[in-house]
Amino acid sequence: MMKKSIINFREMVEKKEKIVYITGYDYLTAKYEERAGVDMILVGDSLGMVTLGHETTYPVTMEDMISHSSAVRRGAPNTFIIGDMPYMSYQISDEEAVFNAGRFTKESLVDAIKLEGGTDSVVARIKAIADIGILVMGHIGLTPQFAAQMGGYKAQGKSAGAAMELLRQALAIEAAGAAFILVEGVPAVVGKAITERLSIPVLGIGAGSFTDGQLLIYADMVGYYDDFTPKFVKKYANVGAELLKGFTGFCEEVRNGSFPDDAVHTYVIADKEAADLEKLLAEIK
Ligand code: KIV
């Protein structure tokens, strides 16, 4: 399988082929995602909640993101990977945003980076990063790094005025040089309005069926993360139940002595070596 490029994604949009996009945070999961043939993997800062056990994405650092993105790159060498810029890695200045986007690219070999928000300052950061040749994905709508201002993880663009503001932000992000945009947590009609008016690929998560591609957080869609499940998630597997089955089975068998079975799970020693060992042990008794 050949890694897709921005050209392939533009062609997919033209041919109306949907782009499949899933989050990933570690080597093993990325390996399975690549085997399944996903088009893009997002190493999201949802890492903080899904993998590191934080209550929000705010504590995630550049070091966390680089370490996990590098692992995902090793697991999925032939998949297009997008690294999410964590909170406070791009907010302060264009210079810091460019520095951190460059670090991400150099140290974990991601193919693109993603920034949350549609404010004027975020649009300026997108332009500064795109100007040095890094592919940028914008992200608007329900943006977790703005959760405090939104009053929580709430759907956005639910009035005509709010929807028009999202469209204005999307157009500004495209004009700033973003290669893609992700729209999260908006009514389907808003996802459609944005997709129809932009020429860059528009990915959606909880933005209806019209967008050029669909993203889900892998731990939600395989039934692994169960702290809460957003309305837009569909479960395709029940990994949590399978893990529980494996762990409880192991607990039971270790405690009742049926694991390990020495006839199956143990290394063998030649009869002569076993006899010699017995003699040597007898001498030191
Ligand atoms: O961090 C992430 O996984 C994201 C998605 C929620 C879109 O940004």
Q: Give the pLDDT confidence of 207-252 residue by residue, as tens digits.
A: 999 999 999 999 999 999 988 889 999 999 999 999 999 999 999 9
Q: Which of 203, 222, 237 is the last residue of a domain?
A: 237
pTM: 0.95
Helix (H) or strand (E) segment spanning residue 183: strand 180-184
Same domain, 276 and 177: no
- CATH number of domain containing 190: 3.20.20.60
Token digits of residue 147: 């959760």
35 CA to middle of ligand 1, Å?
A: 22
Task: Check 184, 242, 252, 278 and give the catalytic one.
Answer: 184
Q: What is the CA radius of gyration of the chain?
A: 24
Are residues 116 and 178 both part of a single domain? yes
Burial degree of 108 (CB within 10 A; 0-12, 13-18, 19+): buried
Containing domain of residue 125, as a range? 6-237
Asked if residue 1 belongs to a domain, the reply is no
**8 A C-beta contact, residue 111 and residue 133:** no
Ligand 1 test: best mutation among 217, 225, 229, 233, most atoms within 8 Å of CB? 217
**Which residues of the chain are modeled with pLDDT < 50?**
none
Both 20 and 125 in one domain: the answer is yes
CA distances from 161 to 30, 124, 146, 198 (A): 39, 23, 19, 19
34 shares its domain with 162: yes
- For the stretch 25-47, pLDDT in tens is 999 999 999 999 999 999 999 99
Residues 36 and 172 in one domain: yes
C-alpha to C-alpha distance for 222 and 128, rounded to whole angstroms:
37
Identify whether residues 157 and 256 lie together within a single domain: no
Structure tokens at 227: 């702290």
Residue 226 has what pLDDT?
A: 87
Residues 191 and 270 in one domain: no
Q: Is residue 101 part of a domain?
A: yes
- Same domain for 248 and 223, yes or no, is no
Contacts of 201 (CB under 8 A, 6+ apart): 9, 10, 12, 13, 19, 179, 180, 181, 212, 213
CB 199 within 8 Å of CB 171? no
Provide the pLDDT for residue 28. Answer: 98
| Residue 153 structure tokens | 């993880």
99 belongs to a structural domain: yes
Sole residue written with tokens 């993105």: 69
